[in-house]
């Protein structure tokens, strides 16, 4: 890596002739040239990032470009207002300006975001101050959860069908071979989970947060399990119920439009894939009590969740605009669910790079359906979701997010497989 | 399971005619018959354990036996003093009385201890009081660690050679097939660890706590690694150094008689097997700093340790008589080592039942060499270590102890194997 020796105060030789492509931004850009203090602050921000490999161009052509290396992307800031949003509100301002088109990124969006993630964690006191300033995620009380989930998951099944796989798996896939298709990798993810849970015919399964019902269907049809799945997203549950009836497995799977805290009954297996992100730290003890209440003596349980290596709030833009109430825990924080009940962790697997790959494939499909997205919603929505998918891929690539699968049982369960060999057949 | 309907206040029909076998205890037993309050308290203690399947017989023949089931063991309390030790000091009193022969156990010692472990965790306030009463483990400062380790590991290599495998592995073995020999399982453990660490020829390895040097030797001879191993046990290091010289691999392995906190240099791999139990919670941040200081950007690290499902001090008798300073952490507590440095946990495997099996095989070998143990030390030592090995096996069987292998890397390391398939060759 070269170091940034100086900041070029001229237009970039490669991208300098680029014209803003966005009409709105183009209009905004015509108003005033950038001022000396704006240029100064921009330089300071970019210098603080070390040696980033992207170019930044302001509305008047002023640019800051990498030294001794070819830029992977060019960030166009199309107005004074957009620059102010970015400098004042950081990730939040960037997200909103990207969504309204007053910041655009040309070139490798994900690569640019990886660099931004790797350099956006202020250390020491500055980091602490930033964290204290960030508002807590919206509360996940019973009512709060329903609203938070509604915000994200009830925006239309048609929309998700544009870019998810056929099974509508909206969680990290598992690629036993790196080059397999998304469709195959989502099937492999479901099988990997079923094998970890030693799922057997006749097993009673409680699922907390079932999405569009694909895993419950897979467990019933391919493993002979009897599944009850809870979810507070009415759109998702309607879809799942309708499919179960149409395909005739509604005798083996029950989808319940209710909060996971109301799960009742006794089960051989407890599974939750991609719900813990929406539970919130305050409610981990409640989740632990649910599992403790419903799991048999020899029962197996699995939590699959986005996580962190160190405690940190969700990216504020994602939390506000995309996923209200979301919080990805560290492994240590997850133990607040398990340790009060002395649950024994048998296996933790981190599938971080699998989620990066999943998101990459979602983004390809999303871009291919971009016009339909804009037709269903509008440009701002289309750009916001593009940033969310690309930013999430970048966060997993940069190590800012992890994907933990945690398998556990009761402390005194000695009916365990002797090794994990059974997870790797063939 | 039958419930205990009543307590038999007569000698047990099966074991009632047993005579105490220990001379000392027999003499003690001849003094006075047991008193009404002693019988009452003993009954209360046994009732509180639910429906245990062992018989307890006092020195005068008074016994409490299981109802509706055949006892798996008979606990002989040979004197008033032994009963008082047990009732006043719990595990501590039992351990000391077992060691001095004033309590003996006939039949299935491990099975009896499993029941004792499963029922010796007083809930709620009583548990809290008990925990607060228990002294903290002895401190693991630099001097403290040396003394604590000396207490256990420097009692004579000849002693450990009596019952360990040929490689002197004094940690949990790995049995990919349940019926394999201890020797094979210890080799398999070392290979399992080397595979998790993706060990390659030329890799520089730092090992914290190397025992008698077997893993370092294995890594050098079978994987072409260059290993530096730290240990504060002078007996172990002498043995390891001598063996490396005799077998001619001292150019590839360096054994250092020093504290893990003094590890210096840069390494591709950091590994610690069975040392964390002796580090103590107060020093977890220091251990994290050591790893952070010495691990390369793409380095891999593994901690292998006895652990808990919920925070709890070591059994007080073990901590006092066998392992001063020992503390097995929960997974959550282990995160105090990793989270400050944003290390990414890739894989956690719980090998609890493998440790139960390892201990079972150690106990068989120990019992076969029992006369030699008593010749090297004395009866009290022989009985104390027998209880320690049997009690540890019971603790793993009962789920009171876990065995965690935690694999981790730096957050931004993307040179990871795509799955864990490589851990399961063939």
pLDDT tens-digit map of A196-232: 999 999 999 999 999 999 999 999 999 999 999 999 9
Best mutation target among A116, A308, A399, A421 (most B Cβ atoms within 10 Å) is A399
Q: What is the pLDDT of residues A63-98, one digit of tens each?
A: 999 988 899 999 999 999 999 999 888 889 999 999
User: Hey, do B23-132 and B142-423 end up sharing a CATH topology, with the first three levels equal?
Assistant: no
Interface contact A331-B331, CB threshold 8 A = yes
Nearest CA in chain A to B397: A414
How far is residue B41's CA from residue B170's CA, in Å, rounded to a whole number?
Answer: 40
3-state class (DSSP) for residue A266? coil
**How many angstroms separate the CA atoms of B102 and B405, rounded?**
39
Q: What is the largest CA-CA distance in chain B?
A: 73
Cα separation, B88 vs B94, in Å, equals: 10
- The alpha carbon of B171 is separated from its chain's Cα centroid by a whole number of angstroms, namely 8
Which 3-state string (H, E, C) describes B362-391? Answer: HHHHHHHCHHHHHHHCCHHHHHHHHHHHHH
Distance to chain A for B100, nearest Cα, Å: 31
Per-residue pLDDT tens over the stretch A104-144: 999 999 999 998 877 655 444 554 455 555 666 777 888 87
Residue B96 has pLDDT above 80, yes or no: yes
Nearest-neighbour CA in chain B from A261: distance (Å): 23
Residue A416 Cα, gap to closest chain B Cα (Å): 9
Which of A53-67, B5-19, B192-206 has the highest mean predicted lDDT (pLDDT)?
Answer: B192-206
Give kind and range of the element (H or E) at residue A243.
helix A234-247
Distance, in Å, from the CA atom of A2 to the CA atom of A66, rounded to the nearest integer, reads: 9
Across the interface, of A340, A350, A414, the residue whose CB is closest to B344 is A350
| Closest-CA residue of chain B to A397 | B414
Contact B399 A420 (CB under 8 A): no
Is A420 in contact with B416 (Cβ distance < 8 A)? Answer: no
Give me the pLDDT at residue B378, please: 94
Task: Decide if pLDDT at B23 tops 80.
Answer: no
At A22, the pLDDT band (50, 70, 90 cuts) reads: very low
CATH class of B142-423: alpha beta
Q: What is the pLDDT of residue B133?
A: 57
Q: Supply the pTM of this predicted model.
A: 0.90
Average pLDDT over residues A33-61: 89
For the domain B23-132, what is the CATH code? 3.30.1050
Closest-CA residue of B relative to A331 is B332
Helix (H, G, I), strand (E, B) or coil at B288: helix
Mean pLDDT of B39-54: 87
Instruction: Tell me the three state secondary structure of residue A380.
Output: helix
Cα distance between residue B291 and residue B206, in whole Å: 9
pLDDT at residue B5 in the model? 33
Q: What are B268-324's pLDDT values in tens digits?
A: 999 999 999 999 999 999 999 999 999 999 999 999 999 999 998 888 888 888 888
Pick from A349, A414, A424: CB nearest B424: A424
Burial A203-229 (b: 16+ CB within 10 A, else e): bbbbbbbbbbbbbbbbbbeebebbbbb
**pLDDT for res B60:** 95
Task: Name the residue among A309, A344, A352 with its Cβ closest to that of B339.
Answer: A309
CA gap A56, A11 in Å, rounded? 10
Work out the pLDDT band at B140, boundaries 50, 70, 90. Answer: confident
Six-digit token string for A245? 């009836």
Query: Residues B365, B368, B373, B379: is their CA dihedral positive or negative?
Result: positive
Residue B219 pLDDT greater than 80, yes or no = yes
Nearest-10 Cα torsion for A114, A116, A119, A123? -120
Nearest Cα of chain B lies from the Cα of A299 at a distance, in angstroms, of: 15
How many other CB atoms are there within 10 angstroms of residue B154's CB atom? 15
pLDDT at B135: 64
Find the residue in A nearest to B342 (Cα).
A309
Residue B17, pLDDT > 80, answer: no
The CA distance from B277 to the nearest CA of chain A, in Å, is: 18
Of residues A48 and A396, the one with the higher pLDDT is A396
Contacts of A335 in chain B (CB under 8 A): 330-332, 335
Give the nearest partner residue to B350 out of A347, A352, A397, using CB atoms: A347
Give the three-state DSSP class for B406. Answer: strand
* Tens digit of each residue's pLDDT (9 = 90 or more) over B116-125: 877 655 444 5
Structure confidence at residue B130 (pLDDT): 56
User: Which of A29-38, A202-211, B70-79, B302-311 is predicted with the least confidence, judged by mean pLDDT?
Assistant: A29-38
Q: What is the pLDDT of chain B when averaged over all its residues? A: 88
CA distance B168 to chain A (A): 23
Select the residue of A345, A399, A402 nearest B350 (Cβ to Cβ).
A345
pLDDT above 70: residue B12: no
Q: Name residues whose C-beta falls within 8 Å of residue B375's C-beta, 6 or more positions apart in sequence.
A: none
**Average of per-residue pLDDT across A363-391:** 96
What is the per-residue burial (b if ≥16 Cβ within 10 Å, else e) of A232-253?
bbebbbebbbebbeeeebbebb
Tell whether the model's pLDDT for residue A29 goes beyond 60.
no
**Stretch B32-37: mean pLDDT, rounded?**
89
The structural domains of chain A, with segments of one domain joined by +, span: 23-130, 142-423
With contacts defined as CB-CB under 8 Å, which chain A residues touch B410? Answer: 399
Judged on CB neighbours under 10 Å (0-12, 13-18, 19+), A157 is middle
Q: Which pLDDT score is estimated for A294?
A: 98
Nearest to A87 by CA among A44, A33, A36: A44
pLDDT at B120: 57
Numbered residues of chain A with Cβ closer than 8 Å to any chain B Cβ? 118, 175-178, 309-311, 330-332, 335-336, 338-340, 342-350, 352-353, 397-400, 402, 404, 410-414, 416, 418-421, 423-424
Lowest mean pLDDT segment, chosen from A13-17, A270-274, B25-29, B132-136: A13-17
Long-range contact pairs involving B112-117 (C-beta distance under 8 Å, separation at least 24): B112/B54, B112/B72, B112/B73, B112/B75, B112/B394, B113/B390, B113/B391, B113/B393, B113/B394, B113/B395, B114/B394, B114/B397, B114/B398, B115/B49, B115/B52, B115/B53, B115/B54, B116/B49, B116/B52, B116/B394, B117/B394, B117/B395, B117/B398, B117/B400
Whether A399 sits inside 8 A of B412 (CB atoms) is yes
Residue A20: per-residue pLDDT: 36
| Closest by Cβ to B331, choosing from A335, A397, A402 | A335
Contacts of A192 in chain B (CB under 8 A): none
Q: Are A393 and A328 in contact (CB under 8 A)?
A: no
Whether A420 sits inside 8 A of B423 (CB atoms) is yes
Predicted local confidence at residue A315, as pLDDT: 85
- Which of A348, A352, A411 comes nearest B348 by C-beta? A348
Q: Comparing C-alpha atoms, which of B176, B104, B139 is closest to residue B324? A: B139
More confident residue, A312 or B14: A312
CATH 3.40.50 fits A23-130, yes or no: no
Mean pLDDT of B159-170: 95
- Residue B414 DSSP code: -
pLDDT at A65: 93
Is pLDDT of A279 > 90? yes
* Per-residue pLDDT, B119: 66
From A3-12, A260-269, B178-187, the region with the lowest mean pLDDT? A3-12
Strand order in the sheet with A54-58: A63-64, A54-58, A73-77, A103-107
Q: For the ranges B25-34, B58-67, B105-114, B119-128, which has the lowest average pLDDT?
A: B119-128
DSSP secondary structure of A277-297: GGT-GGGHHHHHHHHHHHEEE
B178 contacts A418? CB cut-off 8 A = yes
pLDDT reading at A15 higher than 50: no
pLDDT score of A142: 82
- Report ipTM (2 d.p.): 0.90
pLDDT value, residue A132 = 54
Task: Give the percent of chain B with pLDDT over 90.
Answer: 72
Of the candidates A175, A348, A412, the beta carbon closest to that of B345 is on A348
What pLDDT does A14 receive?
30
Contact B337, B288 (CB under 8 A): yes
Determine the distance in angstroms separating the CA of B357 from the nearest CA of chain A, rounded to an integer.
Answer: 11
Tokens of B388: 């320690």
Q: Report H helices in B154-249.
A: 157-161, 182-196, 214-223, 234-247
Report the chain B residue with the minimal C-alpha distance to residue A351.
Answer: B346
What's the pLDDT tens digit per position in A231-255? 999 999 999 999 999 999 999 999 9
Distance CA B403, CA B331 (A): 10
**A73 is written with which tokens?**
């992307």
CB A390 within 8 A of CB A109: yes
Q: Which residue of A has its CA nearest to B346?
A: A350
Summarize pLDDT for B372-425 with one digit per residue, the tens: 999 999 999 999 999 999 999 999 999 999 999 999 999 999 999 999 999 998
| Residues of chain B contacting residue A175, judged by C-beta atoms under 8 Å apart | 418-419
| pLDDT over 60 at B157, yes or no | yes
User: If you measure CA to CA, which chain B residue comes closest to A422?
Assistant: B424
């Amino acid at each position: 890596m070269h170091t940034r020796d100086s900041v070029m105060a001229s237009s970039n030789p490669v991208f300098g002739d680029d014209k803003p492509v966005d009409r709105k931004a183009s209009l905004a850009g015509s108003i005033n040239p950038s001022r000396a203090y704006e240029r100064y602050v921009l330089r300071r921000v970019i210098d603080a990032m070390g040696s980033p490999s992207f170019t930044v161009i302001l509305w008047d052509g002023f640019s800051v470009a990498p030294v001794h290396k070819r830029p992977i992307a060019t960030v166009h800031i199309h107005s004074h207002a957009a620059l102010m949003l970015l400098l004042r509100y950081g990730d939040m301002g960037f997200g909103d300006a990207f969504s309204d088109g007053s910041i655009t990124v040309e070139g490798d969006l994900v690569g640019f975001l990886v660099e931004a993630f790797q350099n956006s964690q202020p250390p020491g006191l500055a980091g602490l101050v930033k964290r204290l300033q960030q508002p807590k995620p919206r509360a996940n009380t019973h009512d709060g959860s329903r609203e938070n989930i509604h915000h994200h998951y009830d925006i239309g099944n048609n929309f998700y069908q544009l870019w998810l796989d056929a099974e509508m798996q909206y969680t990290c896939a598992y690629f036993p071979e790196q080059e397999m298709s998304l469709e195959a990798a989502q099937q492999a993810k479901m099988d990997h989970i079923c094998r970890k849970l030693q799922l057997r015919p006749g097993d009673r399964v409680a699922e907390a947060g079932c999405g569009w019902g694909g895993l419950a269907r897979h467990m019933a049809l391919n493993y002979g399990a009897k599944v009850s799945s809870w979810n507070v997203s009415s759109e998702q549950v309607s879809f799942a119920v309708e499919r179960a009836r149409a395909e005739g497995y509604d005798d083996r799977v029950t989808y319940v439009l209710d909060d996971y805290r109301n799960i009742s009954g006794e089960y051989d297996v407890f599974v939750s894939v991609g719900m813990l992100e929406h539970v919130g730290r305050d409610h981990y003890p409640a989740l632990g009590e649910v599992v403790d209440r419903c799991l048999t003596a020899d029962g197996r349980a699995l939590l699959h969740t986005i996580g962190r290596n160190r405690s940190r709030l969700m990216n504020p833009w994602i939390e506000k605009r995309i996923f209200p109430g979301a919080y990805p825990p560290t492994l240590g924080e997850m133990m607040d669910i398990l340790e009060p009940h002395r649950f024994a962790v048998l296996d933790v697997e981190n599938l971080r790079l699998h989620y990066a790959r999943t998101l990459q494939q979602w983004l390809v499909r999303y871009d291919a359906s971009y016009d339909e997205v804009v037709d269903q919603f509008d440009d701002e929505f289309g750009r916001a979701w593009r940033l969310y998918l690309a930013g999430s891929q970048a966060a997993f690539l940069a190590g800012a997010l992890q994907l933990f699968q945690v398998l556990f049982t009761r402390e005194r369960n000695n009916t365990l497989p002797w090794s994990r060999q059974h997870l790797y057949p063939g």
